[in-house]
Structure 1
Amino acid sequence: MPDAATGRPARRPNVVVVFTDQQRWDTTGVHGNPLDLTPNFDAMARSGTHVVQAITPQPVCAPARAAIQTGRYPTTTGVHRNGRTLPEDGPTLATCFRDAGYATGYIGKWHLAGAEPVPPEQRGGYESWLGANVLEFVSDAYRTVMFDEAGEPVLLPGYRSDALFDAAIRFVADHTEPDGSPAERPFFLFLSLIEPHHQNEVDTYPAPKGYAERYQGRWLPPDLATLSAEGGTAHRHLGGYCGQVRRVDEGLGRLVDALRTLDLLDDTILAFTSDHGSHFKTRNDEYKRSCHDSSVRVPLALRGPGFDSGGALNHPVSTIDLPATLLDAAGIEVPAAMQGRSFLPLVRDPDAEWPTEVFVQVSESEVGRAIRTSRWKYYAVDPDAHPWDDLAGSRYVETALYDLANDPYELVNLAGMASHRAVAERLRARLLARIVAAGEAEPVIEPAPEVPSGAQRRVDPAVHDGRWTPVRFGHQHR
């Protein structure tokens, strides 16, 4: 669209995505965390747009990363588990921005290739490259090794997340003219951190020196406080995990300051989110790969053109919608192949039409499918499917039902209770519809075996997804 003053085409905004690994939604201050871990993210969420209920489409590294690069479900890309490569055909964020005239760059963990270093043809179309396929295996907290465009190893100084933010700041500065004016091409940068992921070979969360001690023993979210009594690693690891989150947020603040210094802040869309969360081995024997919000719910905020003063979006939104949203905000046509949809209309009008649920696929631990509304979580598992090999199941069994309005940390499973049978039936039909809409064959979902619900437990039929349906009040007689 032309600029009103000059008549020339308006310059498209720069776009930067900051992507963490394994960060729970409730590590942020805007979600009530008491430790002041994320003051920079919180400021961004309050002044920009905060997606309050952001849900990953798959709580495993590679599938979530494939979805956010392509806007397509893991079963569509074929990256339904780790160890699969991103298809070389089909649109990606990088190819869409590049074709629109953007300079594109990738820094950090990729996890979508078949080799290390990542071959050029497996980089998703990014032009500038400084990354590693599995950064957790080629680096440690104070030894960050990545590979440049030529595949040569590069050792970056400092704590690992600091080193990646430093590289991002260099990228931004390199795409600004010496006189401080914007470069000829706007840029799209995807910064993919490993923190707050554990260091695999030693199963620890190595925070910067002194940071774990600040937070150890100070806070446990209710799910971990309850479930850790039966196992899990939260009591041992949460201090280091929180220390990592804090240092990442400090890096985010430095990146914002760099954009401000270069006079790019007001012309740059900045998005911050994560691939999935962590339940610290309280739901299965790993850190994610479950239907629970501790696995699937992530932080998501955006600032910059189109998102400043956007407020809080309270609709459930999938991060599969982020690619379409970024393209839409940059004025780039969203490819028809993308299954996610832009939530920019919601930013402009909270009453805009939007689905009442998000769809989640689970793999590796089990083959499961879930929907999450503002009030309900409904989950089914195929007990006969092979969780490593099978993209989808054909016969699912209702496995979990949670009332998030009254049990936000999912500690009481209502599946099979007669009191919630009507709710389960409605959600089962909606899950089937979402499975088919995602391109999967329609399966069977069997109800859960009936379990006692107690005399007092019931659901009022006038309540649907936490909102009352209209009722008429009669006259009061004295």
Structure 2
Amino acid sequence: MTKRPNFLFIITDQHRADHLGCYGNRVVQTPNIDGIAAGGTRWDKFYVANPICMPNRASIMTGRMSSAHGARHNGIPLSKDHTTFVELLRDAGYNTGLVGKSHLQSFTGLPATNQFEAKEGLTAPSAHLRDAYKNNRHSSDYDLEVAPNWDTPLAERTYGEFYGFNHVEVCADHGDQASGDYLLWARYQHPDFNTLVGPENALPDGNINAPQAWKTAVPEELYSTSWIADRSEAWLAEQADQDEPFFLQMSFPDPHHPFTPPGRYWDMYDPADMTLPASFSQGDLPPIKAMKEAMEKGTDPRDNQNPFAVTQDEARAIIALTYGMITMIDDAIGRVLKRLESLGLTDNTVVIFTSDHGDYMGDHGLMLKLLLHYQGIIRVPFIWNDPIAPEDRALDHGLGSSIDIAATILARAGIQPFNGIQGRDLFSTEPPEAIIVEEDSQRTMTGFDRPQRVRTVVTDRYRMSLRQGEDWHELYDLESDPEETVNLYGNTKFADLSATMSETMLRRLIDLQDRAPLPAYRA
């Protein structure tokens, strides 16, 4: 019997595809990730199922769209009633570990943005009947990642199992605001750790002036990226003498905002050397105009999760800091890969790299994510390095989705997927004609008067996004207009194309209709 493969699944946060050397970036230094790509397969048309952290991470775990698993937006946990591919690995005898960011449950502790509102003159249902789901994920089982309550390690509160992981060491939040098990460790290493974090404790620096950016006083060795590498190395060392195969998810919360790369990574890149996206000064969609106007008037706070407009200097500074965070992650990955080799595990370990979504990073003069499904937001890296794979598949041009990750890992492990999985094995099946991206926002943002519901369809050549309740939509020819600056939707010359794309979207949405649960009757 062939020895079952191990898996090292590396995932970053808010990391667009073109912010890697192997995806054509000539500035950011990522030799270790580039090395993974050089010895494996890299997808150049790989898209998220949802461009927001929690729902897309839930889609990766389940191989299902957020409309199927229900975690539509941050703040809606992944239900434990939904099967994950990690549970199948564990069921088949794998040792499963998670080190770093999970974000399958909420970690802010903030009140819900949407709550059931009793209407005057009508009898309100009892509390347990106010949602279509009676298991509505509001119990203490779904408060495990709430950062303000994180006074004991997550492992001590999960009794040896967390969505299929039998080992968990979790880092919640981002930048030098990271929390969770990581923060418990950092405070143990440095009892006054709280005096090192946040803008109020930042080190002086007169060169950077940008929203959500400060020179952290946290040293490199105490920063979350270093901790994740350290703990991953330690867990891998424990697996070296085990008979069972392993699956390790090594999950970095960077390069997400706030932009706080520590030590030498803070000024590793000079903002003056950063090139702005070609679309920086372009874009006349209503929310883009509204965000730029809010920036000019100073009415947009720009200190939260909502996207915002930036000046040229701010964009260059944030790109430089993001590159610093990415290079720190790449150095950490290099350490772990060397450890994997020294343990004699390289020849039987599949190494996978991806991210949960992207960032505008100056596209159309914007920063962060949400609302608009430009390529920088929805297209992410996906790299698969298999020690037994042929070397002639260095680049795959087929459409791929984050829902495909689960099915591909299970196929390589020789495990049959569960009924209802919507993704495909990337190696044994043909690409679909289109990818669907879903977004259901929970709050109103600059440029809108209501929370947005968006459905996007991407083909080899085009991207179309339709919105509920708005009188404008988007259609771009990615071949002739890769910067997505010429909106073809509503142009009578492209009415046939709009109709074709609408039909393509409908067909793909039908494909993705849920096939679970199995029927209860007997044949």
Normalised by the length of structure 1, the TM-score is 0.78
1:78 aligns with 2:70: yes
Give the unaligned 5+ runs of structure 1.
1-8, 178-182, 200-204, 346-351, 385-396, 441-478
Q: Which residue identity does 2:96 align to in structure 1? A: T
Range 232-241 or range 333-342, more displaced: 232-241
How far apart are the structure 1 equivalents of 2:506 and 2:178? 44
Q: Which residue identity does 1:244 align to in structure 2? A: M
Shift in alpha-carbon separation, 1:47–1:76, aligned structure 2, 3 A: same
3-state SS in 2 of match to 1:249: helix
How far apart are the structure 2 equivalents of 1:314 and 1:43? 19
1:367 aligns with 2:453: yes
3-state SS in 1 of match to 2:473: strand
How far apart are the structure 1 equivalents of 2:476 and 2:388? 35
- How far 1:226 sits from its partner (Å)? 3.4
Shift in alpha-carbon separation, 1:367–1:307, aligned structure 2, 3 A: farther
Q: Which residue identity does 1:288 align to in structure 2? A: K
Give the unaligned 5+ runs of structure 2.
106-141, 190-220, 293-308, 442-450, 515-523
Query: What is the Cα-based RMSD across aligned positions, in Å?
Result: 2.5
1:34 to 23, 26, 31: 26
Aligned to 1:124: 163
How far apart are the structure 1 equivalents of 2:322 and 2:92? 39
Range 375-384 or range 157-166, more displaced: 157-166
Q: Does the CA contact (< 8 Å) of 2:37 and 2:385 recur in 1?
A: yes
1:430 aligns with 2:461: no
CA deviations over 1:307-365 (Å, ceiling 9, x no partner): 452321101211110111011011111222211111022xxxxxx63212211102216
- How far 1:124 sits from its partner (Å)? 1.0
Q: Does the CA contact (< 8 Å) of 1:272 and 1:302 recur in 2?
A: yes
How far apart are the structure 2 equivalents of 1:316 and 1:29? 21
How far apart are the structure 2 equivalents of 1:191 and 1:92? 17
Shift in alpha-carbon separation, 1:276–1:223, aligned structure 2, 3 A: farther
1:339 aligns with 2:378: no
1:206 aligns with 2:198: no
3-state SS in 1 of match to 2:43: strand
Q: Does the CA contact (< 8 Å) of 2:73 and 2:439 recur in 1?
A: no
Count of aligned residue pairs for this structure pair: 397
1:50 to 25, 35, 42: 42
How far apart are the structure 2 equivalents of 1:315 and 1:380? 23
Range 309-318 or range 106-115, more displaced: 106-115
Aligned to 2:94: 102
Q: Which residue identity does 1:99 align to in structure 2? A: D
3-state SS in 2 of match to 1:27: coil
State how 1:8-407 maps to structure 2 within 5 Å. 9-113=1-105, 114-115=142-143, 116=146, 117=150, 119-120=157-158, 123-132=162-171, 134-136=172-174, 140-141=175-176, 145-147=179-181, 153-155=184-186, 157-177=221-241, 183-199=242-258, 205-215=259-269, 216-223=271-278, 225-227=280-282, 231-232=309-310, 233-280=314-361, 287-289=368-370, 290-305=372-387, 307=389, 309=391, 310-345=393-428, 353-364=430-441, 366-383=452-469, 399-407=473-481
3-state SS in 1 of match to 2:226: helix
Aligned to 2:130: none
How far apart are the structure 2 equivalents of 1:174 and 1:255? 14
How far apart are the structure 2 equivalents of 1:172 and 1:323? 21
How far apart are the structure 2 equivalents of 1:337 and 1:344? 20
CA deviations over 1:176-201 (Å, ceiling 9, x no partner): 12xxxxx11111111111110012xx
Shift in alpha-carbon separation, 1:26–1:245, aligned structure 2, 3 A: same
Q: Does the CA contact (< 8 Å) of 1:20 and 1:273 recur in 2?
A: yes
Aligned to 1:462: none
Q: Does the CA contact (< 8 Å) of 1:23 and 1:278 recur in 2?
A: yes
- How far 1:68 sits from its partner (Å)? 0.5
Q: Does the CA contact (< 8 Å) of 2:63 and 2:403 recur in 1?
A: yes
How far apart are the structure 2 equivalents of 1:339 and 1:246? 34
Normalised by the length of structure 2, the TM-score is 0.71
- How far 1:398 sits from its partner (Å)? 6.3
How far apart are the structure 2 equivalents of 1:17 and 1:276? 16
How far apart are the structure 1 equivalents of 2:378 and 2:178? 28
Shift in alpha-carbon separation, 1:283–1:70, aligned structure 2, 3 A: farther
- How far 1:236 sits from its partner (Å)? 3.3
CA deviations over 1:15-52 (Å, ceiling 9, x no partner): 11111000011111122111142121112112101011
How far apart are the structure 1 equivalents of 2:278 and 2:235? 40
Query: Could you say which structure has the higher strand fraction?
Result: 1
Aligned to 1:409: 483
Aligned to 2:122: none
3-state SS in 2 of match to 1:242: helix
- How far 1:217 sits from its partner (Å)? 2.7
Identity over aligned residues, as a percent?
Answer: 28
Q: Does the CA contact (< 8 Å) of 2:363 and 2:376 recur in 1?
A: no
Shift in alpha-carbon separation, 1:250–1:227, aligned structure 2, 3 A: farther
How far apart are the structure 2 equivalents of 1:273 and 1:316? 15
How far apart are the structure 2 equivalents of 1:418 and 1:266? 56
